[in-house]
Amino acid sequence: MNVGTVIDDRYRVIRSLGEGACGAVVVAQDLAEGREVAVKIQPERSFEESDVFAEGREEFVREACNLEKLSGIRGIPECHGTGLYRGRRYVVMDLVTGMTLEKFAVNPGAHMTAVAASVLGQLCEILWEVHSRQMVHRDIKPANIMVELNGEIRLLDLGFALECGVVPAWPSGTLGYSAPEQYLPGNRATVACEIFSLGCVLFEMIAHTLPYDGNARGATRASQAFAPGRLSALDPTLRDLGLAMVAVDPADRPADVIEVLRYLKPVLPLPGSARHAKLRPPDVTTWYRKRRGIPLP
């Protein structure tokens, strides 16, 4: 979408944030409110049938509905409206600045125990509220996680989110981060799948690799998540937690994100502690060093 385009006489496009098969995301000036927002807009119709294009519009409506259901949760962008522009559905939401976890993870120090624990801890706090509203995200991966300039974590892209216990119309997720059962037709959306995905994110940060060679489809209890010795240099607390999170059998994983947080507690930054000298901004440990984490019993 061209810079300067005004969507529905209200949102003037300033710059592009990215474009893919699912649509484009642009930064726009909200002329009514005088603020910058993110606008996600459906791709222009090309050769697809009318019903396929219409289904694409409905996916944008579902994402807007999911954002509204999760309104008020720290770490989830607020939805500011939806509409049609030249037949294309769009969703207006908070503009989140910073970098994706995908980019953050290659920074020096990103693999440090306190850093990885702080990222995982903040994600668990966000998801605790999401799950408390009986919703699951279903596509947790570094590309959908933002690290803001102040070190706070945001979770984006609610397009696949569903109510807990609902059977998806078709299996969906992202290869490398989806639990084995997520590939099976008729499988319900569960918190256990989220725990698996979080474990994959953890290993990508601390080991720069994914379990089951990046593909858990068809994995069984006899499958090894990693080759012997591959994780020997990792912090044992994070290693053991991560292995439990990516267990093939959902019953062998932590029951919920609060259990993950309790396991993380010994390796989270201490309240009032100083920033590590080798850490570069954004500093994700600030959340716990400044005593902002949720209290745990």
Q: What are the structural domains of the chain?
A: 6-93 (3.30.200.20), 99-289 (1.10.510.10)
Tens of pLDDT, residue by residue over 2-50, are 899 999 999 999 999 987 657 789 999 999 999 999 999 988 765 455 5
Secondary structure (3-state) at 92? strand
> What span, in angstroms and rounded, lies between the C-alpha atoms of 14 and 25?
11
**pLDDT of res. 49:** 54
Q: Indicate the DSSP class of residue 218.
A: T
**pLDDT of res. 1:** 81
**pLDDT of res. 55:** 64
Tens of pLDDT, residue by residue over 213-250, are 999 999 999 999 999 999 999 999 999 999 999 999 99
Output the CA–CA distances (angstroms, integers) from residue 271 to 237, 282, 288, in the order listed.
Answer: 19, 18, 6
Q: In what order do the strands lie in the sheet with 11-20?
A: 6-7, 11-20, 23-30, 35-41, 88-93, 79-85
Cβ-contact 79, 67 below 8 angstroms: yes
Residue whose structure tokens are 């979408």 = 1
**pLDDT of res. 296:** 81
Residues of the chain with pLDDT under 50: 47
Q: Is 222 left (phi over 0), alpha (psi -120 to 50) or beta?
A: alpha
Question: Is 145 buried (19+), middle (13-18) or exposed (0-12) by CB count in 10 A?
Answer: buried
Q: Is 246 left (phi over 0), alpha (psi -120 to 50) or beta?
A: alpha
Residue partners of 179: CB distance under 8 A and separation at least 6: 192, 193, 196, 197, 216, 250
**pLDDT of res. 170:** 82
Predicted TM-score (pTM) of this structure: 0.93
Q: What phi, psi does 143 have (nearest 5°)?
A: -70, -20
Strand boundaries in 42-117, DSSP class E:
79-85, 88-93, 99-100
Residue 248 sits at the vertex; the CA angle it makes with 191 and 207, to the nearest 5 degrees, is: 90
**pLDDT of res. 132:** 97
